Amino acid sequence: MSDPRRQRAYVTRAGEKLEAALRAFSLNPAGRVCADLGSHEGGFVDCLLKHGAVRVYSVDTSYGTLAWTLRRDPRVVVFERTNAMHVALPEPIDLTTIDVGWTRLGLVLPNVARWLKPDGRVIALVKPHYEADPGQLRGGVLDDEAVDLIVGAVLRAATDAGWTVCDRVDSPLVGHGGNREVLAMLARSDAPNPPPKAHDMKGFPPGTPPR
């Protein structure tokens, strides 16, 4: 019986999540300088490279987890044992992808703003089960209503912090424990060319940003 991992398009299934977002948001990393925060094994990194990124800064607090095929790729610059909230990158970034798990998105975005190009974009994987208070989880899983409330609160907080929420799409694959995840595209509010599809937030239910 063949190993299903050998049939994957990317080193992890996270690459499939990012590919769906790139398609939904009509974003093309080809020829771009990218950063991936929370790389772990490198599913997002792999996806960016296979879509033509010229360079990817791979940032993660872990050590030795990035797939060897990516680690030895000259287009990948590895930042291990490095916190996404504090990393300083040596050049402006066109596209930043974020999958930081236990670290809430709102804690990472202020640092991203320091080195994202004015017309750059962010694709963030919002994991409501990590953003939620423990009491909201039932058996480790959030129901759809809670997911919508938390995603709405997270993205509204990003808007209040100076970001434009351009679009969002459900991940085609569920996360840990079967939890629903959402991919959001963000741009700086001071971008010289405002995104053509800026989200007006009307689709989000009212919610309080997580503490």
Enumerate the domain spans of the chain. 16-191
Neighbour-count burial of 202, counting CB atoms closer than 10 A to its CB (0-12 exposed, 13-18 middle, 19+ buried): exposed
Q: What is the mean pLDDT of the chain?
A: 85
Among the CATH numbers 3.10.20.310, 3.40.50.150, 3.30.70.20, 3.40.50.720, which is that of 16-191?
3.40.50.150
pLDDT for residue 90: 97
Neighbour-count burial of 184, counting CB atoms closer than 10 A to its CB (0-12 exposed, 13-18 middle, 19+ buried): buried
pLDDT for residue 132: 66
Distance CA 146, CA 153 (A): 11
Mean pLDDT, to the nearest integer, of 38-47? 97
Q: Mapped to the 3 state alphabet, what secondary structure does 128-192 carry?
A: HHHHCCHHHCECCECCHHHHHHHHHHHHHHHHHCCEEEEEEEECCCCCHHHCCCEEEEEEECCCC
pLDDT for residue 200: 41
Report pTM. Answer: 0.85
Distance CA 8, CA 153 (A): 34
